[in-house]
Amino acid sequence: MLSYQHHYHAGNPADVHKHALLAWMLDYLVQKDKPMTYIETHAGRGLYDLGDEAALKTGEAAQGVGKYEPCFPDDHPYRQRLNETRFKYGPLAYPGSPLVAAMSLRESDTIHLAELHPAEHVILSEHLTQWEAHIHRQDGFKLAQAICPPTPRRGLALIDPSYEVKADYDSIPKELANIARKWNVGILALWYPLLTSGSHGAMLGQLMAQFPEALRHEVRFGPVREGHRMIGSGMFIVNPPYGIADEAARLTRIFKA
């Protein structure tokens, strides 16, 4: 089932949380003069227009990047990626995670992106032409299994499923364990929603038992629309990079304020 389309939700509070942590981690990783690999299992289209009909219909970006961006300092890597995107693509452009990554990384780094939806895959390929990214129309977990451990071995994978079916919550701990077994030095960042139904609870319990050293960071923001079931955003990070606890604390303060 591929009915989820991220352009209705781009720039929402969950994107701010996820993209701010991603931009910070990549900025940290590129400080070291050693090439790295970035893998994304569920990439989306990479670049969004917050003025398009879908975005305006939900109004989620106003509740997200519209509200929280001023809380980040000017030199924060997330804010820098936002500014670079607007400079390049126009004032209403918003970077998806593949673009956040492409703009953060260096020529010596390797990017693998998986997007299964045929139309989103085409748009993603168009948006990323300027970068030499490997763009796969393939199931993201299968791709990660096939290429891990990647070359270069140092790096990060973002796992950002759309959780369209409840079975995703059951299968993800096993998928993550399989990737971690093959790539034991990789930073693995899994995004998950905090839902009024609590459907994410059992998955998290399992993940924490599997990866007791991982970082779990959650922010709450209330429903973006009446009746919306998502009331917060979580990131579960295996092999968290040094210093991320301080960045997570900053995000906690931003979302509380």
The residues that touch ligand SAM, with contacts defined as CB under 6 A, are: 2, 4, 6, 15, 18, 41-44, 96-97, 114-117, 120, 139-140, 160, 162
Identify the active-site residue in 75, 160, 168, 246.
160
Task: Give min distance, CB of 188 to ligand SAM, in A.
Answer: 14
In the bound state with ligand SAM, the residue whose beta carbon lies nearer, of 109 and 115, is 115
Assign residue 198 a region (left: φ > 0; alpha: ψ between -120 and 50; beta: otherwise): left
Q: Among this protein's residues, is 160 annotated catalytic?
A: yes
In the bound state with ligand SAM, the residue whose beta carbon lies nearer, of 145 and 162, is 162
Task: Give min distance, CB of 237 to ligand SAM, in A.
Answer: 15
Using CA atoms, how far apart are residues 242 and 188, in angstroms rounded to an integer?
14
Which residue is associated with the tokens 């703009």? 103
In the bound state with ligand SAM, the residue whose beta carbon lies nearer, of 34 and 88, is 88
Instruction: Find residue 158's DSSP bridge partners.
Output: 40, 189
Closest-CA residue to 81 (of 11, 7, 155, 12): 11
Task: Give min distance, CB of 33 to ligand SAM, in A.
Answer: 28
Which residue sits closest to ligand SAM, CB atoms considered? 96
- Using N-to-C axis directions, what is the helix angle for 77-89 and 13-29, rounded to 10°? 110
3-class SS at 13? Answer: helix
Q: Which residues are catalytic?
A: 160
